[in-house]
Amino acid sequence: MPELPEVETTRRGIAPHLEGHRVTRLIVRDPRLRWPIPEDLAIQVENQTFTAVRRRAKYLLMDIGGGTLISHLGMSGNLRLVPAETPVLKHEHVDIELDSGLTLRYTDPRRFGAMLWQRAGEVHPLLARLGPEPLSAEFDGERLYELSRKRSMAVKPFIMDNAVVVGVGNIYATEALFAAGIDPRREAGRISRARYQALAEEIKKVLARAIESGGTTLRDFIGGDGKPGYFKQELFVYGRAGQLCKVCGTTLSECRLGQRSTVFCRRCQS
Protein backbone atom coordinates (compact mmCIF):
# COMPACT_ATOMS: atom_id res chain seq x y z
CA MET A 1 0.00 0.00 0.00
CA PRO A 2 1.41 3.44 -0.89
CA GLU A 3 2.30 5.22 2.36
CA LEU A 4 2.79 8.90 3.19
CA PRO A 5 6.17 9.30 1.40
CA GLU A 6 4.78 7.67 -1.76
CA VAL A 7 1.75 9.98 -1.67
CA GLU A 8 3.98 13.01 -1.10
CA THR A 9 6.15 11.88 -4.02
CA THR A 10 3.03 11.72 -6.17
CA ARG A 11 1.96 15.19 -5.01
CA ARG A 12 5.33 16.67 -5.91
CA GLY A 13 5.26 14.94 -9.27
CA ILE A 14 1.83 16.08 -10.40
CA ALA A 15 1.53 19.53 -8.76
CA PRO A 16 3.58 21.49 -11.34
CA HIS A 17 1.47 20.00 -14.14
CA LEU A 18 -1.90 20.71 -12.50
CA GLU A 19 -1.57 24.06 -10.77
CA GLY A 20 -2.67 26.86 -13.10
CA HIS A 21 -4.13 24.46 -15.65
CA ARG A 22 -7.76 24.06 -16.65
CA VAL A 23 -9.68 20.77 -16.84
CA THR A 24 -11.10 20.36 -20.33
CA ARG A 25 -12.80 17.03 -19.73
CA LEU A 26 -13.31 14.43 -16.99
CA ILE A 27 -13.76 10.82 -18.06
CA VAL A 28 -14.94 8.24 -15.52
CA ARG A 29 -14.78 4.73 -16.95
CA ASP A 30 -15.58 2.90 -13.73
CA PRO A 31 -17.02 4.78 -10.71
CA ARG A 32 -16.86 1.70 -8.47
CA LEU A 33 -13.95 2.53 -6.22
CA ARG A 34 -13.95 2.06 -2.43
CA TRP A 35 -16.65 4.72 -2.41
CA PRO A 36 -18.52 5.49 -5.64
CA ILE A 37 -17.18 8.47 -7.58
CA PRO A 38 -19.78 11.28 -7.30
CA GLU A 39 -22.06 11.37 -10.32
CA ASP A 40 -21.76 15.15 -10.61
CA LEU A 41 -17.95 15.27 -10.39
CA ALA A 42 -17.59 16.36 -14.03
CA ILE A 43 -19.88 19.33 -13.35
CA GLN A 44 -17.67 20.36 -10.43
CA VAL A 45 -14.30 20.25 -12.21
CA GLU A 46 -14.72 20.70 -15.95
CA ASN A 47 -13.64 24.14 -17.21
CA GLN A 48 -12.22 24.90 -13.76
CA THR A 49 -8.55 25.59 -12.97
CA PHE A 50 -6.45 23.80 -10.37
CA THR A 51 -5.10 26.29 -7.83
CA ALA A 52 -3.15 24.01 -5.47
CA VAL A 53 -2.25 20.37 -4.89
CA ARG A 54 -1.91 19.51 -1.20
CA ARG A 55 -1.60 16.41 0.95
CA ARG A 56 -3.32 15.49 4.21
CA ALA A 57 -2.21 12.15 5.65
CA LYS A 58 -2.40 9.78 2.65
CA TYR A 59 -5.02 11.86 0.86
CA LEU A 60 -4.19 14.09 -2.11
CA LEU A 61 -6.19 17.34 -2.05
CA MET A 62 -6.50 19.07 -5.42
CA ASP A 63 -8.13 22.50 -5.04
CA ILE A 64 -10.20 23.48 -8.04
CA GLY A 65 -13.25 25.66 -8.66
CA GLY A 66 -15.67 25.58 -5.75
CA GLY A 67 -14.01 22.84 -3.77
CA THR A 68 -11.38 20.15 -3.53
CA LEU A 69 -10.94 16.90 -5.41
CA ILE A 70 -9.85 14.29 -2.86
CA SER A 71 -7.93 11.24 -4.04
CA HIS A 72 -6.67 8.23 -2.11
CA LEU A 73 -4.46 5.65 -3.81
CA GLY A 74 -5.82 2.72 -1.82
CA MET A 75 -3.72 -0.44 -1.93
CA SER A 76 -2.65 -0.42 -5.55
CA GLY A 77 -3.59 2.90 -7.11
CA ASN A 78 -1.46 5.50 -8.84
CA LEU A 79 -1.85 8.87 -10.50
CA ARG A 80 0.40 9.65 -13.45
CA LEU A 81 0.56 12.18 -16.23
CA VAL A 82 0.35 10.93 -19.80
CA PRO A 83 -0.17 12.58 -23.21
CA ALA A 84 -3.89 12.87 -23.97
CA GLU A 85 -3.70 10.38 -26.85
CA THR A 86 -2.13 7.61 -24.73
CA PRO A 87 -4.13 4.37 -25.20
CA VAL A 88 -6.22 3.34 -22.22
CA LEU A 89 -5.26 0.10 -20.50
CA LYS A 90 -7.14 -2.14 -18.11
CA HIS A 91 -7.87 -0.70 -14.63
CA GLU A 92 -7.41 2.93 -15.78
CA HIS A 93 -10.64 4.25 -14.30
CA VAL A 94 -10.41 8.06 -14.47
CA ASP A 95 -8.89 10.59 -16.87
CA ILE A 96 -8.62 14.30 -16.07
CA GLU A 97 -7.78 16.00 -19.35
CA LEU A 98 -5.94 19.32 -19.09
CA ASP A 99 -5.59 22.33 -21.36
CA SER A 100 -1.86 21.55 -21.59
CA GLY A 101 -2.53 18.41 -23.62
CA LEU A 102 -1.65 16.16 -20.69
CA THR A 103 -4.02 13.83 -18.89
CA LEU A 104 -3.93 12.95 -15.21
CA ARG A 105 -4.80 9.24 -15.26
CA TYR A 106 -5.95 7.31 -12.20
CA THR A 107 -5.22 3.57 -12.23
CA ASP A 108 -6.39 1.18 -9.52
CA PRO A 109 -6.45 -2.59 -10.17
CA ARG A 110 -8.07 -3.42 -6.83
CA ARG A 111 -10.36 -0.37 -6.73
CA PHE A 112 -9.67 0.27 -3.02
CA GLY A 113 -8.82 3.92 -3.66
CA ALA A 114 -11.09 6.96 -3.83
CA MET A 115 -11.93 10.02 -5.91
CA LEU A 116 -14.27 12.24 -3.89
CA TRP A 117 -15.44 15.84 -3.71
CA GLN A 118 -15.27 18.35 -0.84
CA ARG A 119 -17.11 21.64 -1.20
CA ALA A 120 -15.33 24.86 -0.25
CA GLY A 121 -15.72 25.66 3.43
CA GLU A 122 -16.56 22.05 4.35
CA VAL A 123 -14.42 19.26 5.78
CA HIS A 124 -14.98 15.78 4.39
CA PRO A 125 -15.76 13.18 7.10
CA LEU A 126 -12.63 11.22 6.07
CA LEU A 127 -10.48 14.21 7.04
CA ALA A 128 -12.38 15.43 10.09
CA ARG A 129 -10.69 13.48 12.89
CA LEU A 130 -7.14 13.13 11.70
CA GLY A 131 -4.20 13.77 14.02
CA PRO A 132 -1.26 16.07 13.23
CA GLU A 133 1.12 15.59 10.34
CA PRO A 134 4.24 13.70 11.49
CA LEU A 135 6.64 16.27 10.04
CA SER A 136 4.84 19.21 11.65
CA ALA A 137 5.71 21.00 14.88
CA GLU A 138 2.40 19.76 16.35
CA PHE A 139 3.77 16.22 16.51
CA ASP A 140 6.41 15.38 19.10
CA GLY A 141 7.34 12.92 21.81
CA GLU A 142 5.28 14.73 24.42
CA ARG A 143 2.12 14.10 22.40
CA LEU A 144 2.93 10.40 22.13
CA TYR A 145 3.66 10.20 25.85
CA GLU A 146 0.47 11.97 26.94
CA LEU A 147 -1.83 10.02 24.60
CA SER A 148 -0.26 6.70 25.52
CA ARG A 149 -0.90 6.84 29.26
CA LYS A 150 -2.97 3.89 30.47
CA ARG A 151 -2.98 2.43 26.96
CA SER A 152 -2.34 -1.33 27.00
CA MET A 153 -2.12 -1.78 23.22
CA ALA A 154 1.26 -2.44 21.63
CA VAL A 155 3.25 0.63 20.69
CA LYS A 156 3.36 -0.15 16.97
CA PRO A 157 -0.43 -0.02 16.34
CA PHE A 158 -0.56 2.97 18.71
CA ILE A 159 1.70 5.08 16.49
CA MET A 160 -0.18 3.85 13.41
CA ASP A 161 -3.46 5.28 14.77
CA ASN A 162 -4.40 8.25 12.55
CA ALA A 163 -5.97 10.00 15.53
CA VAL A 164 -2.55 10.00 17.22
CA VAL A 165 -0.49 10.99 14.17
CA VAL A 166 -1.29 10.58 10.49
CA GLY A 167 0.61 8.70 7.85
CA VAL A 168 2.84 6.45 9.94
CA GLY A 169 2.09 3.23 8.05
CA ASN A 170 3.44 -0.26 8.49
CA ILE A 171 6.78 0.23 6.76
CA TYR A 172 7.79 3.43 8.50
CA ALA A 173 6.43 2.47 11.92
CA THR A 174 8.56 -0.68 11.75
CA GLU A 175 11.66 1.24 10.70
CA ALA A 176 11.23 4.06 13.24
CA LEU A 177 10.77 1.64 16.13
CA PHE A 178 13.97 -0.14 15.12
CA ALA A 179 15.87 3.13 14.88
CA ALA A 180 14.61 4.15 18.34
CA GLY A 181 15.46 0.73 19.80
CA ILE A 182 11.89 0.05 20.95
CA ASP A 183 10.31 -3.40 20.82
CA PRO A 184 7.10 -2.99 18.75
CA ARG A 185 5.30 -5.39 21.11
CA ARG A 186 5.75 -3.23 24.21
CA GLU A 187 2.65 -1.71 25.79
CA ALA A 188 2.27 1.90 24.69
CA GLY A 189 1.51 3.01 28.23
CA ARG A 190 4.74 1.55 29.62
CA ILE A 191 7.14 3.55 27.48
CA SER A 192 8.89 6.54 29.03
CA ARG A 193 8.71 10.16 27.94
CA ALA A 194 12.37 10.10 26.90
CA ARG A 195 11.90 7.06 24.69
CA TYR A 196 8.84 8.61 23.06
CA GLN A 197 10.86 11.74 22.35
CA ALA A 198 13.44 9.55 20.61
CA LEU A 199 10.71 7.70 18.71
CA ALA A 200 9.08 10.91 17.49
CA GLU A 201 12.41 12.10 16.17
CA GLU A 202 13.03 8.81 14.38
CA ILE A 203 9.56 8.91 12.81
CA LYS A 204 10.35 12.36 11.43
CA LYS A 205 13.78 11.25 10.19
CA VAL A 206 12.67 8.05 8.46
CA LEU A 207 9.74 9.77 6.73
CA ALA A 208 11.88 12.72 5.62
CA ARG A 209 14.53 10.39 4.19
CA ALA A 210 11.89 8.35 2.38
CA ILE A 211 10.30 11.45 0.87
CA GLU A 212 13.65 12.72 -0.37
CA SER A 213 14.40 9.27 -1.81
CA GLY A 214 11.11 9.26 -3.68
CA GLY A 215 9.19 6.81 -1.53
CA THR A 216 9.51 3.08 -1.18
CA THR A 217 9.25 0.95 -4.30
CA LEU A 218 6.55 -1.67 -3.75
CA ARG A 219 4.72 -3.97 -6.14
CA ASP A 220 2.19 -1.53 -7.57
CA PHE A 221 3.41 1.99 -6.80
CA ILE A 222 4.40 4.35 -9.57
CA GLY A 223 5.17 7.97 -8.74
CA GLY A 224 3.20 10.81 -10.27
CA ASP A 225 6.14 11.65 -12.53
CA GLY A 226 6.53 8.01 -13.60
CA LYS A 227 9.63 7.46 -11.45
CA PRO A 228 9.59 4.80 -8.73
CA GLY A 229 10.99 5.36 -5.26
CA TYR A 230 14.35 4.08 -4.10
CA PHE A 231 14.04 3.96 -0.31
CA LYS A 232 13.62 0.18 -0.21
CA GLN A 233 17.36 -0.40 -0.35
CA GLU A 234 17.72 1.49 2.96
CA LEU A 235 15.26 -0.61 4.99
CA PHE A 236 16.72 -2.18 8.13
CA VAL A 237 13.91 -4.49 9.23
CA TYR A 238 10.71 -4.24 7.17
CA GLY A 239 10.34 -7.26 4.90
CA ARG A 240 13.58 -8.84 6.21
CA ALA A 241 12.22 -11.53 8.58
CA GLY A 242 14.73 -14.35 9.00
CA GLN A 243 17.61 -12.27 7.67
CA LEU A 244 20.44 -10.92 9.79
CA CYS A 245 20.17 -7.58 11.56
CA LYS A 246 22.36 -5.04 9.79
CA VAL A 247 23.46 -3.66 13.16
CA CYS A 248 24.15 -6.66 15.43
CA GLY A 249 23.90 -9.72 13.19
CA THR A 250 21.03 -11.34 15.10
CA THR A 251 18.39 -13.16 13.03
CA LEU A 252 15.40 -10.86 12.73
CA SER A 253 12.10 -12.04 14.26
CA GLU A 254 8.56 -11.62 13.02
CA CYS A 255 5.17 -11.36 14.73
CA ARG A 256 1.71 -9.97 13.95
CA LEU A 257 0.44 -6.80 15.59
CA GLY A 258 -2.88 -5.28 14.65
CA GLN A 259 -3.18 -7.82 11.82
CA ARG A 260 0.10 -6.53 10.33
CA SER A 261 3.33 -8.42 9.91
CA THR A 262 6.01 -6.88 12.13
CA VAL A 263 9.74 -7.54 11.89
CA PHE A 264 12.10 -6.59 14.72
CA CYS A 265 15.45 -7.38 16.32
CA ARG A 266 15.29 -9.00 19.75
CA ARG A 267 18.75 -7.67 20.61
CA CYS A 268 18.54 -4.09 19.32
CA GLN A 269 14.95 -3.43 20.42
CA SER A 270 13.74 -3.64 24.01
87 in catalytic set: no
3 in catalytic set: yes
| pLDDT (average), residues 71-88 | 91
Choice among 186, 240, 246, 260 that is catalytic: 260
Check whether residue 96 and residue 151 sit in a common domain: no
List the domain range (segments joined by +) for residue 85: 4-119
Choosing from 57, 84, 119, the residue where a domain stops is 119
Choice among 3, 97, 175, 202 that is catalytic: 3
Which residue pairs, CB below 8 angstroms and at least 24 apart, start in 183-186? 183/155, 183/264, 183/266, 183/269, 183/270, 184/154, 184/155, 184/156, 184/255, 184/257, 184/262, 184/264, 184/269, 185/154, 185/155, 185/156, 185/255, 185/257, 185/262, 185/264, 186/154, 186/155
Which uninterrupted H or E stretch holds 78? strand 78-83
Task: Evaluate whether residue 158 is within a structural domain.
Answer: yes
At residue 9, φ and ψ (nearest 5 deg) are -60, -45
58 in catalytic set: yes
Choice among 58, 105, 156, 195 that is catalytic: 58
| pLDDT (average), residues 251-262 | 94
- Would you place residue 6 in the very low, low, confident or very high pLDDT band (cuts 50, 70, 90)? confident
pLDDT score for 217 = 52
Residue with the larger pLDDT of the pair 38 and 212: 38
* pLDDT at position 226 over 70: no
Query: For 129-185, how does the pLDDT look when each residue is reduced to its tens digit (9 = 90+)?
Result: 999 999 999 999 999 999 999 999 999 999 999 999 999 999 999 999 999 999 999
138 in catalytic set: no
| Residue 21 assigned as binding residue | no
Check whether residue 84 and residue 159 sit in a common domain: no
| Residue 110 assigned as binding residue | yes
pLDDT score for 221 = 46
Tell me, what CATH number does 170's domain have?
A: 1.10.8.50
pLDDT score for 66 = 93
